[in-house]
Structure 1
Amino acid sequence: MPTIDILLPGFAIDTDQGYPAFCGVFLVRGPDAAGRPRTLLVDAAHVGRRPFLWDALAVHGLTADDIDTVVLTHAHWDHVQNIDLFPHATLVLHPDERRYAHTPHANDWATPAWTGLLLEQLPVREAADGEELIPGVSVIALPGHSPGSIGVVVETEAGRATITGDALHFAYVARTRRNPLVFWDADAAARSIDRVLAVSDLVYPGHDRPFRLTANGGIDYLESFALTLTGLRPDTEGLAFADGSARPLWVMPGVEEQRALYAKNADDIERRISRVPRVVGPARQGAGPGSG
């Protein structure tokens, strides 16, 4: 059966000076229909985690060249920036996400204008709801947080696990049933949360530890929390901690314009995709912090 390993854990951390935005990065391995071993990466994190991603691959005896497929749950900056590390991989994402990334809304701070250019640096495979990637591993459509958010459903020995991306950021969202950060459609985002919980024995959120729901609706985490902060002491003057266990719902201003703009830009999007030059080559692995 296919397996899931956590390469980089996701964290539910914000600050009053910006978002660290540490998404989970997952390794999914299993045989394809012909019995050949396949190695999939789900999400790629941002460049601040690049040396840590190299190290995590090495722990599993892998390099970037061993990754066959990079699946993007969605195209926000904190999930996509390291895809250039995998120039030999095929990039899998939903067609709506690919097209939106070429003409994002002006208020969409999570999808910079260059996102579409970055996506086209790898061979792209568009994948819709229910599509099988390898036996026991399939795509589930989870729109709302973004237009083409998807999850990856993995039939593991421990049960059916869903890697959700930001369709379900944090474990507490399984109780509130509301996505706290919406760039496309809040109602669709809520339906996607319901769908995840309906099909999953185990949930691997975008920015939290994997968990399962108990019989009474409680959160049973499957991994321990571990994080070290450097450059600060617990008694540093001005350092404060705030409870972030229930973030307020934020919906992007102008979200009601999204569908009309997406349809209006359809022809221009296809032209943009066809004209993007590919400039990414094999990445140099192993340069650590301070290398530039």
Structure 2
Amino acid sequence: MPTIDILLPGFAIDTDQGHPAFCGVFLVRGPDTAGRPRTVLVDAAHVGRRPFLRDALAAHGLTAGDIDTVVLTHAHWDHVQNIDLFPHATLVVHRDERRYAHTPHADDWATPGWTGLLLEQLPVREVTDGEEIIPGVEVLALPGHSPGSIGVVVRTDRGRATVTGDALHFAYVARTRRNPLVFWDEDAATRSIDRVLAVSDVIYPGHDRPFRMTEAGDIDYLERFALTLTGLGPDTPGLSFADGTSRPTWTMPGVREQRALYEKNAAEIDRRISRVPRVLRPDLPGAGPARG
């Protein structure tokens, strides 16, 4: 039976000067259909967390070379930037997410124009809803936050654990059923939240601690909150705190236009993908040995 561990916790914190965007990074391990052990990373975080990711892998007795599969719940900057640490791995991403990353909308600040180039630096496996990554680990299509957002359902001894990415950023979203950031389709985003709740015993959100929903509809966190801030103190002049337990939905300007352009330019997107050079090679210094 596969297992899931938290490598880097997600945090529901924000500021009026920018987004720390600390997404959760998860380690899933289990045998493949031939009984060989497989090590799967779900999301990779941004480069500000790179040394912490390496340390977290080491704490589990692993190096980057031990990761054979990297699953992206979606291709936003805070989830994707560290994939170059894993040049031996296969990158698992939804077909729609891969294609959108090559032609992001000008108002999509979470998908920089270089995102498509970065994705193509690893061997890519496109997936759709219901596909098996390894036995007991399946893809759950969760579009809305982005065109090809996916979750990863892990059948553990504690029940079905779903890594949601930003289809469900924070635990409170399970109660409001409103995604606070929509770059593709608000109605689809709401349906995806409902889908997560319908299939999950334990939920691992994109930017919060894992939790269960009680029969009374309350949030039961399974991990304690722990975060240390440096350079600031409770008495720092000008420091203030705002209520972040619920946030209004922000929908990207131009989403309807972008969906139409995506459909219109589908063939050109495929041609663009085929021409992307792969400059990241497993034999480069720092890549680490491949897993045997």
TM bucket, shorter chain: over 0.9
- Paired position in structure 1 for 2:269: 269
Runs ≥4 residues deviating over 3 A: none
Report how far residue 283 of structure 1 moved: 6.0
- Paired position in structure 2 for 1:26: 26
- Paired position in structure 1 for 2:232: 232
Q: Give matches, 1:201-220, under 5 Å.
A: 201-220=201-220
Report how far residue 258 of structure 1 moved: 2.2
Secondary structure of the 2:171 match is coil
Any conservation in 2 of the 1:162–1:200 contact (CA below 8 Å)?
yes
Distance (whole Å) between structure 2 residues aligned to residue 171 and residue 265 of structure 1:
36
Report how far residue 285 of structure 1 moved: 7.6
What do the CA deviations read for 1:64-95 (whole angstroms, capped 9, x no partner)?
Answer: 00001000000000000000000000000000
- Paired position in structure 2 for 1:64: 64
Q: Which amino acid aligns with 1:51?
A: P
Any conservation in 2 of the 1:84–1:283 contact (CA below 8 Å)?
no
Segments of 5+ residues of structure 1 without an aligned counterpart are 287-292
Report how far residue 255 of structure 1 moved: 1.0
Using the TM superposition, name which of 272-281 and 65-74 deviates more.
272-281
Any conservation in 2 of the 1:30–1:37 contact (CA below 8 Å)?
yes
Distance 1:3 1:121, change over 3 A: same
Counting matched residue pairs gives 286
Distance (whole Å) between structure 2 residues aligned to residue 33 and residue 222 of structure 1:
31
Distance (whole Å) between structure 2 residues aligned to residue 118 and residue 84 of structure 1:
8
- Paired position in structure 2 for 1:289: none
Distance (whole Å) between structure 2 residues aligned to residue 219 and residue 76 of structure 1:
27
- Paired position in structure 2 for 1:140: 140
Coordinate RMSD, CA, aligned: 1.1
Q: Which amino acid aligns with 2:216?
A: N
Distance (whole Å) between structure 1 residues aligned to residue 146 and residue 103 of structure 2:
13
Report how far residue 16 of structure 1 moved: 0.3
Secondary structure of the 1:198 match is helix
Q: Which amino acid aligns with 1:118?
A: L
Is 1:78 equivalent to 2:81 in the alignment?
no
Q: Give matches, 1:1-292, under 5 Å.
A: 1-281=1-281, 282=284, 284=286
Secondary structure of the 1:278 match is coil
Distance 1:283 1:234, change over 3 A: farther
Report how far residue 284 of structure 1 moved: 2.7
Report how far residue 259 of structure 1 moved: 1.7
Q: Percent identity?
A: 84
Any conservation in 2 of the 1:31–1:38 contact (CA below 8 Å)?
yes
